[in-house]
Amino acid sequence: MALSVEAVRRIALLARLQLTSSEETAFAEQLGHLLEHFERLAALDTDAVEPTAHVVAMEPLYRDDVVTNPPAEDDLRANAPARDENFFKVPKIIE
In a domain, 39, yes or no: yes
In a domain, 35, yes or no: yes
In this predicted structure, what is the pLDDT of residue 3?
87
Domain with 28 in it: what CATH number? 1.10.20
Q: Which residues pair with 83 in a beta bridge?
A: 88
Which among 2, 11, 8, 4 has a CA at the least distance from the CA of 39? 2
In a domain, 52, yes or no: no
Other Cβ atoms less than 10 A from the Cβ of 29: the count is 13
In a domain, 27, yes or no: yes
In this predicted structure, what is the pLDDT of residue 38?
93
Tell me the residue range of the domain where 13 lies: 5-43
In this predicted structure, what is the pLDDT of residue 90?
87
Question: Is-above-0.85 flag for pTM?
Answer: no
In this predicted structure, what is the pLDDT of residue 71?
83
Total structural domains within the chain: 1
Cα–Cα distance measured from residue 44 to residue 53, given in angstroms and rounded to the nearest whole number: 19
In this predicted structure, what is the pLDDT of residue 69?
85
**pLDDT under 50 in the chain at which residues?**
none
In a domain, 15, yes or no: yes
How many helices and strands, by DSSP H and E, does the chain display?
Answer: 3, 2
In this predicted structure, what is the pLDDT of residue 26?
95
In this predicted structure, what is the pLDDT of residue 86?
81
Beta strands in 1-95 (DSSP E): 83-84, 87-88
